[in-house]
Structure 1
Amino acid sequence: MHACVIGAGVIGVTTAWQLAREGWQVTLVDAATEPASGASHANGGQLSYSYVAPLAGPGVLPHLPSWLLSPSSPLRFRLRADPLQWRWCLQFLQACNARAASATSAQLLALSYLSRQVLHDIQQDNPIDFAHARNGKLIVYRTPALLDKARAQVALQADLGSDQQILTTEQLIAQEPALAPARATLAGAIYTSSEESGDCARFTQGLARQLATMGQVTLRPQTTIQQLERHHGRIRRLLTVTGEAIEADQFVLAAGMGSRPLLAALGVRAPLYPLKGYSLSLPCHQEQVPAISVTDYERRTVYAKLGDTLRIAAMVGIGMPSQGIEADRIALVKRQAQELLPQVNLGPAQAWAGQRPATPHGRPLIGRSRAADNLWLNIGHGALGFTLACGSSHLLGSLMAGAAPAINPAPFRPDC
C-alpha cells in the first residue's frame, strides 16, 4: 500500500515515519525546501505531556475584556471581514466551560501519554540529537489567587495519572535558582518533574533524515500542490503546480493551515484558524538560565533551555497578518523576559513568528475525512503539535491499518 503524506512539519514527518515503519510505501510532500519550515520551526520547545489543558477554558471569559483592551495582553485580536474567524471564535467561546475543558483535558492527556511513549521508543531505537532533556516543568504564578485556582487542575490531572507538586515561593527558588531575581513577584508554582523539552525543528529534521534512508520512502520537498483530484468519492491523485501527478492508495493531510484550502476545494470546511505565536532564540552558554522549563502563567510565556539555546515563546494573535513579525509584540516579549530573567542578555536574540493551526475546542482532528474514503487528517494541534505529534501519528497509523488503537479515537474523529 502506498500513502502520500502532505506536510513536512513535525506532524507530517512523524506520520510518514509511523506509516513507513508499519510497512507502507510513503511519499512525503511539502512546498518548503526542508522539513519544519513552518509552525514547527521555532516553537516553545516544551514537551508538556502532563499539562495539556485546552486554551478554551472557564478562566478565559473573565479575563477576555482586559486581554482585549490591554496592549501588554498575551492575546491580541484583530477583527476581520472573515466568516471563518467569526465562526471559529463563536465555537471557541462555546467551549469555554468547565465541563468541556475537563473532558478535553482528559482526552488530550491520553493522547499525550501515548505520544511520550512513542517518542521514548524512537529515542531508544534510533536516537535523534534534538537537545532532548527530561528536565521537568515549572508553571509559575504571580498571584496567590491564581495559584489557588490551579489546585483544581492539579487535582483533576492527579486523578488521570499526573504527578505534580504545588510549591511556595521559597520552594520554587530552591528548585530553580535562576528565578531568584524575580522572587518578589512570584507567588509559587506547579512543578511536574516528568516533563521534557527539546528542539522541535531538530527532531523533525532528524526524523526526516531517518526517513531518507528507508527504501520505501520518497521525500518530495519544494513540491507545491495545486489540488487533490477526487473521482467517485476517492482521491485519485495529487496534482502539483507544475502539472505533475502523484498517485497513491491513501492520502494524509498534515499540512497545518495549508490543509484548509485543500479541504475547501473538496467542499468541506475544516474548523481551523491560525493562532500566531512569537519566539526568541538566543545563546545561553554564558548566562544563568533556567535548567527547568518554565511557563509564566499570567503572561503565557514559556522558557526552555535547548542545548546551548534559550527559547522564549509567547503570545497568541488572532486575525494577525500571516507574514512578518510585529515589532511591538517582540518588544513586549523581550521586556517581560527581562523582568523575569534580568541576568540574561537578550541582545543577540533572534525573533520568529509562526501560525499555529488550532481547533476551537483544542482537540486535533485525527482520522478519516468526510471528503473522500481514502483521505485522512492529522491536523489542528495548536500549540501542542510537538507534544502530541508522535501519539497522533501512532493513532492515525492504527486507524489506517484497521488495527485496534492504543487510545479511544472518538474524541479526535474529524467532522470535515
Structure 2
Amino acid sequence: MHVLVLGAGVVGVTSAWFLKQQGYDVTVVDRQNQAGTETSYANGGQISVSHAEPWANPSAPLKLLKWLVRSDAPLLFRPRLDPAQWRWAMAFLKQCTASRAAYNLRQIVNLGIYSRAHLQALRQDIGIEYDHLERGILHFYTNPEEFESALRPARMMRELGCDRQVIDANRAVELEPALAPVKGRIAGATYTSEDESGDARQFTRSLAKKAEEAGVEFLYNSEILGFENTQDRVLGVNVIREGRHQILRADNYVLCLGSYSATLARKLGLTLNVYPAKGYSITVPVKSESAAFNVSLTDDEYKLVYSRLGDRIRVAGTAELSGYNRALNLTRCRAIVRRTAELMPDAGLWERAEFWAGLRPATPSNVPYIGKSHFGNLYLNTGHGTLGWTHSCGSAAALADIVAGRTPDVDFAFTGL
C-alpha cells in the first residue's frame, strides 16, 4: 500500500519514517529543496513535555488586552480583514475557561510523554545525532505573580505523569550555574529532569536521509496545488514539479503541511482551525563556556525558550498572529536579544545574533489534529503549534497505527475515531 505524505518538516518526515516501519511504500512531497527548511528550520529546540499549559487559559484574555499596544509583546494579535483569523480568535476565547484549559493540558501532556518515549527509542535504535542534551528543562520566573500562576499547572502536570518539580532559586542555580548572576531576581522555578533539547532541523534532515536509505521517496521542489477527489476519497494530488504539472496518486494521503494545511484542506471543503503564529528565534555562538547554560531553560514571563546546540545558543519564542507574512520584525528580534543578554551577558556573542522567523501552525486549543478526516483515505497530522518538535515522534507513531487500523496506545482525542 502506497502512502503520500504532504510536507517534509519534522512532522512529515517522522510520519514517513513510522509509516515505512509499518511496511508501507511512502513518498514525501515538499516545495523546498530539502527537508526541515520551514518551521523546523530554527525553532526553540526543546523536547518539552513540561511546556504544556495552553495559551488559551483563564489569564490569557486580560494579558492579550495589555499586550495589544506593545510591539514586543510575547503574544501579539494584529487584526486583519481575514475571516480565518477572526474565527480562530473567537474559538481561542472559548477555550480560555478553566475546564477547557485543564482538558487541553491533559491532551498535550499525554501526547508529549508518549512522544518523548518514542523519540528516545528511535534515537537508541538508529543512533541519530542532532546536538541533543538530556539535562532536563528548567522554567524560571523573575516575576512572583507569574511564578504563583505556574504552580497549579505544574501540579496538574505531575498528576498526569510529567514530573515538573517546584524548586527555589538556590536549587535553580545548583542545576544551572549560568543563572547565578540573576539568582536574586528569581522568584521561583520548576524543573523537569526527563525533558530534553536538540536541533530539530538537524534531526529532520538526518532522519530524512535514514528514511531515504530505507526506501522512502522524497519529491522536493514540488509545489502542491490541490486535489482530485470524489465526495469521500482523494484520488490524487496536483503538483508543479520541475516546471511541469503532475498528478501524484497513492492509496492514502497524510496532510502535514503545518500552517498551510488549512488553506489546502479548504480546497477539499475541510475546515481546519489552524492559523499561523509567527515565532522568532536568535542563534548565536557561545562566547564563554563557563557563562553559557547547558540545561535548557524557559523564561515563562517573556515566553522564551533557551537551548544549547553544541557551540551555539538558540533562543526562541513569542507569537505574532498576523497572517502568513514571514517578514522579520526587528523590534521583536531585538527584544529577544535584549532579554537574553540582560540575564546572561557573557554567555553568547549577542552582537552576532542570526535572526529567523517561522510560522507555527496553531490551533485555538494548542491540541493538534491527528487522525482520519471524513475522506476515507486522507489523514491529518498538523496543528502542533509550538510543540511540533516535542510531539513529532508520538504523533507520527500514532498516525501510523491509525492508518494501519489500530488504536494508538495513548490517551488522546484523535480525530475521526
| CA deviation after TM superposition for structure 1 residue 231, in Å | 2.7
Instruction: Pick closer, same or farther for the CA change 1:77–1:391 going to 2, 3 Å.
Output: same
* Matched residue, 2:331: 328
5+ residue gaps, structure 1, are none
* Matched residue, 2:124: 124
Please, which of 347, 350, 353 is the counterpart of residue 354 of structure 2?
Answer: 350
Is the contact between residue 377 and residue 414 of structure 1 (CA under 8 Å) also seen in structure 2?
A: no
Please, which of 347, 362, 368 is the counterpart of residue 372 of structure 2?
Answer: 368
TM-score for the superposition, normalised by structure 1:
0.96
- Which amino acid in structure 1 is aligned with residue 361 of structure 2? P
Counting only pairs closer than 5 Å after superposition, residues 28-67 of structure 1 correspond to structure 2 as 28-67=28-67
* Matched residue, 1:385: 388
Is the contact between residue 282 and residue 356 of structure 2 (CA under 8 Å) also seen in structure 1?
A: yes
* Matched residue, 1:104: 104
Please, which of 403, 408, 414 is the counterpart of residue 405 of structure 1?
Answer: 408
5+ residue gaps, structure 2, are none
Q: After the TM superposition, which segments of 4 or more aligned residues of structure 1 sit over 3 Å from their partners?
A: none
* Matched residue, 1:138: 138
Q: For 1:145 and 1:255, locate their aligned partners in 2 and report how far apart those are by CA, in whole Å.
A: 38
* Matched residue, 1:254: 256
Q: Does 1:9 align with 2:6?
A: no
Identity %: 38
With 319-328 and 34-43 compared, the bigger mean Cα shift is at 319-328
- Which amino acid in structure 1 is aligned with residue 31 of structure 2? A
With 305-314 and 153-162 compared, the bigger mean Cα shift is at 153-162
Q: Does 1:289 align with 2:292?
A: yes
- Equivalent residue of 1:243, what SS? strand
| CA deviation after TM superposition for structure 1 residue 110, in Å | 1.3
**Deviation per residue, 1:32-77 (Å, 9 max, x gap):** 0010111111000010023312111122123222111234421222
Q: For 2:190 and 2:282, locate their aligned partners in 1 and report how far apart those are by CA, in whole Å.
A: 24
| CA deviation after TM superposition for structure 1 residue 406, in Å | 0.7
Figure out how many residues of one structure are paired with residues of the other and give that number: 412
Q: Does 1:156 align with 2:160?
A: no
Instruction: Pick closer, same or farther for the CA change 1:232–1:173 going to 2, 3 Å.
Output: closer
With 338-347 and 302-311 compared, the bigger mean Cα shift is at 338-347
- Which amino acid in structure 1 is aligned with residue 217 of structure 2? T
* Matched residue, 1:221: 220
Counting only pairs closer than 5 Å after superposition, residues 165-180 of structure 1 correspond to structure 2 as 165-180=165-180
Is the contact between residue 363 and residue 412 of structure 1 (CA under 8 Å) also seen in structure 2?
A: no
- Equivalent residue of 2:278, what SS? strand
Q: Does 1:305 align with 2:304?
A: no
Q: For 1:233 and 1:154, locate their aligned partners in 2 and report how far apart those are by CA, in whole Å.
A: 43
* Matched residue, 1:266: 268
Instruction: Pick closer, same or farther for the CA change 1:412–1:403 going to 2, 3 Å.
Output: closer
**Deviation per residue, 1:285-339 (Å, 9 max, x gap):** 6342111111111111111101111100021101155222111111111111111
* Matched residue, 1:90: 90
- Which amino acid in structure 2 is aligned with residue 349 of structure 1? A
- Which amino acid in structure 1 is aligned with residue 304 of structure 2? T
Q: For 1:144 and 1:238, locate their aligned partners in 2 and report how far apart those are by CA, in whole Å.
A: 52
- Equivalent residue of 2:351, what SS? coil
